[in-house]
A and B are shown apart, each in its own frame.
Chain A
Amino acid sequence: MLDQLLNSANYYFNPYSFPMFITALLVILLGVYVFIQDKNLVSQSFLIMTLSAGIWQAGIGMMYLMRDTMLILSFYKIFIFLGAVMIAPGIYFFTASSLGLLEEKKKYVLANYTIAFAFYIMSLMTDWLVRGVNEYFWGPYVLYGPLSIPFLFFFFTLVIRSLLLYHDSIRKMESGIKQDQIKLFTISLAIAAVGSVDFLSCFPPLEVYPFGYLPVLIFISLQTYAILRYKKASLSEIFGAMEDGIIVTDRNGRITEVNHSVEKITGLRRQDFLGNNVFDVFPLIADKVEDPEKVEALLKEITTKPGKISDEDITFIEPALHISTRSSPLMDRFGTRSGSVIVFRNITERKKLEGELRQYKEELEELVKVRTAELAASEEKYRALVNHAQVGIGIHQDGRIVFTNRQLLLMLGFREEEFIGLSISCLIHPDEVEEVMSRAWNRYNGKEVIDTYESQLIRKDGSIMPSIISNAVVEYNGKRATLITIVDITESKLRKELEQVNQELEMFAYSVSHDLRAPLRSIDGFSQALLEDYEEQLDDEGQDYLRRIRAASQRMASMIDAILQLSRIGRYEMRRKQVNLSALAQDIAADLKVTDPDRQVEFVIAEGVVASGDPTLIRTALENLIGNAWKFTQKHENARIEFGVVRQGKKSIYYVRDNGAGFDMRYADKLFAPFQRLHSTAEYKGTGVGLASVQRIVHRHGGNIRAESAVGKGTTFYFTLE
């Protein structure tokens, strides 16, 4: 076969073969050219397609020159048909890749080539596709057998499918360069389809000169044009469509190109720029910018220091625009400057945003400043509050004290430097330490435990401080910590105990008033019954004894009453008010005068003496004091009782003075003790609890009482009410 192929005796000169060779050459060259221009998928598939077409065209050209039938058949099967069978898959491949559908159509592309390969093998092995050679005026031409029917079906299917793909995407696409390009592809492919006339002469009755090379040539040329034009068109289109204004100058500052955005920004037309020097154009816009000198300086810089990249902002007044300009040199391929590119970017929006942002930031800063000041002030307040609080406040973290207020230090007797860092377990009574610590641990880990409880704390000196501790989980220096508030309840414990004792006393007093009086009544009652019913059986002495029994029981009853009265003063719930002491004293004096209208007593009562106290208790006190004065002046002709007030600094000292019996000051300490009497009952009646009651009342008011007296000269009681 190879011998035959190289044997010149098998060839003859046939000019019909020239167009085929030329077409093949051109097709392949265009394919390679496009491929070199831009190595991408589209150009690759284009190259494959052109190679297929080139092989086919060149093969047919060769076939025209051959004489030997056997050689022609073998050559066709091996070489020409290889090209022919590859064309349709090639077209499909190119269509898919030029439409960007390759990923999606990959399976079909592979299937197409597989089927094509199958046809190729079958035509090689059998005579079903090429069955013989016919002689026409343009040279020898093969005759197709039955396999050509499925083959041609395959061929046209792919061509039509490709056309439909183009058609679909044109319909979906918005008009633009890309669409134009696809339209070109479509037209060229439609033209290429005409090239299938070459198959006609394979079926002898349909004898037509195979001019298919012409449409193929047109097809490939149009495709090449479409591919290249798209590239070029896109650059200028981008240039025109750019948001940024672009001015291109040559090395002398002459403007060679401007885009549409420059016209929009400056309000000048394209022809105002082209061919002119930038300095000639500048005066046209000088009145439109805020700072013409800056612009001029910028232009000067661009022209005088052309190698430098400059960056400057220009503000247009009308229309109000902020433009950022940036110029950079244009270099030719030898690295010498061929001109400059000035880019205008509209940054009005950005400037506006920046302005807003700046303002916002300033406001925020102001706010932060104000808040910081407020915070500092409130922190100051809190610090003062915490430091002067009457409860102990502390924070412990990881079991150690990290913060304390003054009161807590005072309570526990520590100095701050020894207290900070102390383990809290040292502060808790050993009996409770386990419970308290486990509770603290659970609280620290977010479990719910009681927040407030009573506990015994240990002071520095080892003494125990009963306290109520309240806990709260807080954040301190960015870490979880526990805030403790401690109240010393030593006093309230004592108070509680006292209250309990008081309550017991009250119960006691209550039963005394009931139970102690009842037997006395029996004693008195039956004594009286004896005296009355058995008078005749009793002699005078017996009757005297019974009278003594009665007198004693009655005295005891009044003493019980006195005790109760005294205890009641202690239990009485005080309510302080403004009390007019003068009016009270007047009242009491009037009452006394009524009880014994025969007595001549001069009352001297100061006007307008007012004090804060419990009206009932104060009345009782004054009743006792004035009553005493009344009692102890009963033997005096010119009895005189005074009530008044003396001021000593801020203190008011009230007094009740009489000119009665008086007493020996040696016994003054016994004066206020209950049941202590400085006079005999026979001389002056009384139970001996009157002054005790007064003292108790004065003490309950936070005041003091004392007496000044001399036997026969009268007595003065001085008292204060806090």
Chain B
Amino acid sequence: MYEKTIMLVEDSSDDIVLIKRAFKKCCIGNKLVVARDGVEALEYLFGKCEDSGQYKAALPAVVLLDVKMPRMDGLETLKQIRSHSRTAHLPVVMLTSSDEERDKIQSYELGANSYIRKPVDFDEFKDVMQHLGLYWLKMNELPKQLGGTKWTKKYGY
């Protein structure tokens, strides 16, 4: 009844297409939720129904977060995610073009779970995406609070 989703926060439409393709190529069929910047991402994560006061969306299994984005960039978004109790331990993978040392340091300081540089070579890129999907969706285990049990039940792990 419930499938783990992947959330992608990315402003480049090219990258969205390529990432989707990469997931498809390596047979990761989970639902991909796309937000075009940090503001949209936070709206998705913290949006509530007006009548019930419940959160609209279940938490994704992992958030792939681009660093450089308009409106609210990746680092600020990460900070916001970590400052809310609901998402304090949500897996967040920084997915970026930059290999700037300071971006890496800041990301880890703010509590990123991983920092991955998007390779230019699509073959490599595909490999990275495969690893990512495999690791965060299949290997990594989450506590109940983050929706771990249901997932485990469904897939029988």
Instruction: State the A residues within 8 Å of B (CB).
Output: 510, 513-515, 517-522, 524-529, 550, 553-554, 557, 561, 564, 568
Contact = CB atoms under 8 A, between A and B. Distances in A.
Nearest to B19: A525
A510 B100 contact: yes
A420 B98 CA distance: 61
Given A518-B12, A518-B15, A528 B100 contact: no
Interface in B91-125: 96-101, 118-123, 125
Interface in B112-153: 118-123, 125
B22 to A, nearest CB: 8
B122 A525 contact: yes
Contacts of B101: 568
Interface string B57-69: 0000000000110
B120 A517 contact: yes
Contacts of A525: 14, 18, 21, 122, 125
Contacts, number: 62
8 contacts: A513-B97, A517-B97, A521-B18, A521-B118, A524-B120, A525-B18, A525-B122, A529-B122
Given A514-B96, A521-B118, A522-B18, 13 more contacts: A510-B98, A513-B98, A514-B98, A515-B68, A517-B118, A519-B14, A520-B120, A521-B14, A521-B18, A521-B122, A525-B21, A526-B18, A529-B122
Interface string B13-47: 01100100100000000000000000000000000
B122 A528 contact: yes
A518 B122 CA distance: 12
Contacts of B96: 514
Contacts of B121: 524, 550, 554, 557
A522 B100 contact: no
B98 A521 contact: no
B97 A521 contact: yes
B67 A514 contact: yes
Contacts of B97: 513-515, 517-518, 521
Contacts of A520: 120
Contacts of B125: 521, 525
Contacts of A510: 98, 100
Nearest to A529: B21
A591 B125 CA distance: 26
A519 B21 CA distance: 17
B123 A528 contact: yes
B55 to A, nearest CB: 33
A298 B107 CA distance: 109
Nearest 5 CB-CB pairings of A with B: A557-B120, A522-B14, A528-B122, A525-B18, A525-B122
Nearest to A518: B97
B34 to A, nearest CB: 17
Nearest to A517: B97
Contacts of B123: 528
Given A521-B120, A524-B120, A513 B99 contact: yes
A550 B122 CA distance: 9
Contacts of B18: 521-522, 525-526, 529
Contacts of A524: 120-122
User: Which among A513, A526, A529, A557 has the greatest number of chain B C-beta atoms within 10 A?
Assistant: A513
B21 A554 contact: no
B57 to A, nearest CB: 28
B100 A521 contact: no
Given A521-B15, A521-B97, A514 B68 contact: yes
A612 to B, nearest CB: 24
B48 to A, nearest CB: 34
B108 to A, nearest CB: 18
B120 A553 contact: yes
Contacts of A527: 122
A480 B117 CA distance: 68
A510 B106 CA distance: 15
A515 B67 CA distance: 11
User: Which among B18, B99, B120 has the greatest number of chain A C-beta atoms within 10 A?
Assistant: B120
A462 to B, nearest CB: 46
Nearest to B18: A525
A101 to B, nearest CB: 102
Nearest to A561: B99
A103 B90 CA distance: 112
A557 B121 CA distance: 9
A525 B101 CA distance: 25
A553 B14 CA distance: 15
A521 B66 CA distance: 14
A118 to B, nearest CB: 117
B5 to A, nearest CB: 23
Contacts of A513: 97-100
Contacts of A561: 99
B109 to A, nearest CB: 18
Contacts of A519: 14
A169 B48 CA distance: 115
B19 to A, nearest CB: 9
Contacts of A554: 120-121
A518 B14 contact: yes
B20 to A, nearest CB: 11
B130 to A, nearest CB: 15
Nearest to A558: B120
A332 B21 CA distance: 147
Contacts of B67: 514
A561 B98 CA distance: 10
A579 B66 CA distance: 38
B75 to A, nearest CB: 13
A614 to B, nearest CB: 15
Contacts of A515: 68, 97
B24 to A, nearest CB: 11
A193 to B, nearest CB: 120
A200 to B, nearest CB: 131
A529 to B, nearest CB: 6
A570 to B, nearest CB: 14
Contacts of B122: 521, 524-525, 527-529, 550
B59 to A, nearest CB: 28
A529 B68 CA distance: 25
Contacts of A514: 67-68, 96-98
A520 B125 CA distance: 12
Contacts of B14: 518-519, 521-522, 525-526
A541 to B, nearest CB: 21
Nearest to A553: B120
Contacts of A526: 14, 18
A211 B100 CA distance: 142
A521 B13 CA distance: 12
B15 to A, nearest CB: 7
Contacts of A528: 122-123
A215 B41 CA distance: 139
A546 to B, nearest CB: 12
A88 B122 CA distance: 146
User: Which among B15, B101, B122, B125 has the greatest number of chain A C-beta atoms within 10 A?
Assistant: B122
A568 B100 CA distance: 9
A510 to B, nearest CB: 6
A521 B68 CA distance: 15
A522 B98 contact: no
Contacts of A529: 18, 21, 122
Nearest to B11: A518
User: Which among A510, A520, A521, A568 has the greatest number of chain B C-beta atoms within 10 A?
Assistant: A521
A517 B118 CA distance: 9
A526 B97 CA distance: 17
Nearest to B97: A517
A164 B14 CA distance: 134
A215 to B, nearest CB: 126
A526 B68 CA distance: 22
A191 to B, nearest CB: 122
